[in-house]
Amino acid sequence: MMTAEQLEVHREALVGHCYRMLGSAAEADDAVQETLVRAWRALEGFDGRASLRTWLYRIATHVCLDALADRARRERPVAMGPAGTIHDDLVERPRTHWLEPIPDVHALPADGDPAERAALRQSIRLAFVAALQRLPPRQRAALLLAEVLGWPASEIASALETTVAAVNSALQRARATLAESAPPEGAVVGLTPAQATLLARYVDAFERYDVDALAALMREDATLSMPPYTLWLRGPAAIKAWFLGRGIGCRGSRLVPTAANGLPAFGQYRPGAPGEPHRPWSLVVLELSGDRIVAMNHFLDTATLFPRFGLPPELA
């Protein structure tokens, strides 16, 4: 007799799948909970012809397709229009509008084949998940089942209740769209020594608020974004001007390391009044290329994100 614990073992893998589909950690959690409830109710009908994980992925995919039927896709600021200036107004969009980061520990199985974990880590990168959101939901599902999970077209067709020809057509269109919107990335198993040094220099420069040193770590086309604001900036000069101007409140911040979307990340705490603790300000997710920073994503919804990442509510 199947137990709830045997279903629960697959939670992290399912969260990763639902996050790729939905672009939201909170919605992925809800979708996985619904998946496990549906699976438990239908357990007597599970005939064992497919593996339990495959069966759960099928249920999770349909839960996500149901969720996507009545909402718009999630975005990143850099996809919404041209780069702004430090003088532009700060226009805010609701948190449901934005692609959300997810903790690695919630989206990646704790054990398993290292090569599989590396591929799954690559598949939750911000740029890849953002590109997925540009696909129609059924194309998105077909692509994930094929490219991430390695299912054959016949199995995808069965899961999506369609034909092999329709699946192959959807995959062709999805791959073409992805090639246009997702930057090519080589497989990354972990940080290189040069990148580990880069991160140490980043933390040192940010906490000392040496903005010149910070700018020197960026690629010439590096970006800064701050969801829930639509404004984003491009280039070290513009980013430096922001930190020395409207972003000067970040002076004296402290950084606590974490990991999000297979990328290095930090909880940023800004100083309060003298004698008061540092308070949460943003979850910073860095995107790297070689030994340079190409994107600094400051997610400001700390009330939601810091508890999710297990970050403390303040720093003494």
Q: Is the pLDDT of residue 187 over 50?
A: no
Average pLDDT (231-239) is 98
- Tokens at residue 80, please? 């919404």
* Pick among 3.40.50.620, 3.40.50.10330, 3.10.450.50, 3.90.870.10: CATH of 193-308: 3.10.450.50
Helix axis angle for 11-22 and 25-41, nearest 10°, is 130
For residues 299 and 263, what is the distance between their CA atoms, to the nearest angstrom?
Answer: 14
- What letter does residue 209 receive in the DSSP assignment? T
Q: Are strands 292-299 and 254-260 parallel, antiparallel or unpaired?
A: unpaired
Sequence-distant (6+) residues with CB within 8 A of 170 are 138, 139, 142, 143
Q: What per-residue confidence (pLDDT) applies to 207?
A: 98
How far is Cα 55 from Cα 246, in angstroms, rounded to an integer?
Answer: 51
| pLDDT tens-digit map of 121-163 | 889 999 999 999 999 999 999 999 999 999 999 999 999 999 9
CATH: 2.60.40.420, 3.50.50.60, 1.20.140.160, 1.10.730.10. Which one for 4-181?
1.20.140.160
Structure tokens at 118: 């590396």
pLDDT digits (tens, 9 = 90+) for 60-113: 999 999 999 988 889 999 999 999 999 999 999 999 999 999 999 988 877 767
Query: Structure pTM?
Result: 0.92
- DSSP 8-state class, residue 74: P
Residue type, 90: L
- Measure the CA–CA gap between 73 and 127, rounded to whole angstroms: 14
Domain ranges within the chain, ordered by starting residue: 4-181, 193-308
- Cα angle vertex 280, ends 77, 19, to 5°? 50
